[in-house]
Amino acid sequence: MKTYEAVLISPNGDWITDFKEYKIEEVEEDLAIANSTRNFFAFYPYQFIIKSPKIHLSANVLKERIIDVARPESLTIMKGLTVERAIKKIMQYR
């Protein structure tokens, strides 16, 4: 069964993954809770959702395509980009 997870990217290009779930909506709910209770948005303002890679290695995560934008919603243009390309664009325009 497919799983999805959040890729959280900081302004300096560091990233982590978190909130692995079976539905995109569940990842979005987890992110909403984390943003309101743990202030994730302050440290990782760029929040995207990807399909979880079968083998969870950094290189595999970077090759996954963004399927949804959690925050900021104005970055819907990032949909379809690989995580690696999105990080490069963020670094280019920060």
Contact 58, 23 (CB under 8 A): no
Rg (the chain; Cα; Å): 12
Where along the chain do its domains lie? 4-93
Q: Residue 17 — pLDDT band, cuts 50, 70, 90?
A: very high
pLDDT surpasses 90 at 59: no
Bigger pLDDT: 55 or 24? 24
Contact 8, 18 (CB under 8 A): yes
Q: Residue 58 — pLDDT band, cuts 50, 70, 90?
A: confident
pLDDT, residue 63, reads: 95
pLDDT, residue 1, reads: 82
